[in-house]
Amino acid sequence: MANIAFFGLGNMGASMAKNLVKANFVVTVYDLVGSQVQLLAEAGATPSSSIPEAVASADVVISMLPAGKHVDSLYFGANGVLDNIADNALFIDCSTIESKTAINIGEKLRSCGHRFIDAPVSGGVAGAAAGNLTFIVGGNKTDFDDAQVYLQAMGKNIFLAGNIGAGQVAKICNNMLLAVLMAGTSEALQMGIDNGLDPKVMSDIMLQSSGRNWTLELYNPCPDVMPNVPSSNQYQGGFLVDLMNKDLALAMSTAAENQSVVPLGKLAQSMFQMHGNAGNGKLDFSSIFKAYKHN
Ligand code: NAD
C-alpha cells in the first residue's frame, strides 16, 4: 500500500484528504495552518509538522495549493519535498496553476527521477466533500494509470487531456466557457424580467429551447428560481468570484501565449473583475446576475 503525503488542507484539500483516509489509504498531512492538520488527524490521517516529516515514508505526493508559486516552493524550496523524498515518487498536483509552470515542474521532477501529473479539478467544494470531483489530467499514460487509484477515491470522472500541462489548459478552457455562459444566461434572464417575464417561466422556456446550458440546468443565477443553489441563498457558498477571476486571468495568459482569439473570454473577465472590485469577490460567481439588475 502506498504512503501518501498530502499538502494543502484548505476548502478543497481537507475534504479530498478525508476521502483518501476513508478509502483506507495511509495519508500523512501537512498544511501551514496547524488547526487544519489537527482536523485531518481527527479524521484518521497522520499529522505532520514539517515537510520532511510529511514525506519521510511517502511514495505519492498530492498537493492542493492556492497557486503555482506555492507548488513550486513546496516541491523545490529549501528543505522542501524534493530534498527529503525517496526516488521515483509520483507527484500529483491538483491545484489550478499556469500550464507552463506545470510543464516546468514536470521537467524538473523528471530530471530528478520522479514522476508528475497535473490534475486540476472541477466540481468545487461540494464535489470535494462528496468525493465526486472531475479530474482533468495532464501527463503520460503510465503515470495517469498509476494515479487512478488515488483519484478515484476523491473523484468520479477522470480524464487524460494530454501531456503534462494539458490538464491545466483543459480546465481553464472549461472555466472560461463557464464564465461566458453564466454572464450570458444572467443577461438573457434579466432582459426577460425587464420586459415583464417571470424568470422561472423564462428559465423553463430556455431549458427546452436552444439557449439551454449547464447554468440553466443546474445553477440558475436568478434568486428563487431553483432551490439549493447559491443564488437562492444570497450567493453564499459555491465557487467564489475571486476564484473565477483567478481562472480567467490564467485563461487570458494562456490565450496570449498562442495568440488565441478570445473576445468573449476577455469581456467576461472584465465583467467579473468589475464585479469582484465592487465588493463581491467572496460571493458565488453566479452573483454576476446582480450586475445586470436595475437599481
Ligand atoms: P484554500 O486557500 O482554501 O486552501 C489552500 C491551503 O493550502 C491552505 O490551507 C493553505 O494554508 C495551504 N498552503 C499554502 N501553502 C502551503 C504550503 N507551502 N504547504 C502546505 N500548505 C500550504 O484554497 P482552495 O479553495 O482549497 O483551493 C485550492 C486549489 O484548488 C486552488 O488552486 C484553486 O484554484 C483550486 N480550486 C478551488 C475550487 C474551489 O471551489 N475552492 C474549485 C476548483 C479548484
Q: Which domains does the chain have, with CATH numbers?
A: 3-163 (3.40.50.720), 169-292 (1.10.1040.10)
Cβ contacts of 59 within 8 Å, gap of 6 or more: 2, 3, 86, 88, 89, 90
The pLDDT of residue 290: 97
The pTM of this model reads 0.95
Whether 171 sits among the annotated catalytic residues: the reply is yes
Given a contact cutoff of 8 angstroms between Cβ atoms, the answer to whether 102 and 167 are in contact is yes
Q: What is the pLDDT of residues 217-267, one digit of tens each?
A: 999 999 999 999 999 999 998 999 999 999 999 999 999 999 999 999 999
Given a contact cutoff of 8 angstroms between Cβ atoms, the answer to whether 188 and 221 are in contact is no
Q: What is the mean pLDDT of residues 105-117?
A: 98
Residue 272 pLDDT > 90, yes or no? yes
Q: How many whole angstroms from 107 Cα to the centroid of ligand 1?
A: 23
Cell 432551490 appears where?
Answer: 227
Q: Please give the backbone phi and psi of residue 83, each rounded to the nearest 5 degrees, phi first.
A: -70, -15
Cβ 239 under 6 angstroms from ligand 1: yes
Cβ 121 under 6 angstroms from ligand 1: yes
Q: How many whole angstroms from 14 Cα to the centroid of ligand 1?
A: 9
Query: Catalytic one among 22, 171, 282, 293?
Result: 171
Given a contact cutoff of 8 angstroms between Cβ atoms, the answer to whether 119 and 147 are in contact is yes
Q: How many whole angstroms from 91 Cα to the centroid of ligand 1?
A: 17
The pLDDT of residue 1: 73
Cβ 126 under 6 angstroms from ligand 1: no
Residue 129 pLDDT > 80, yes or no? yes
> Hey, whose CA ends up nearest to atom 25 of ligand 1?
11
The pLDDT of residue 184: 98
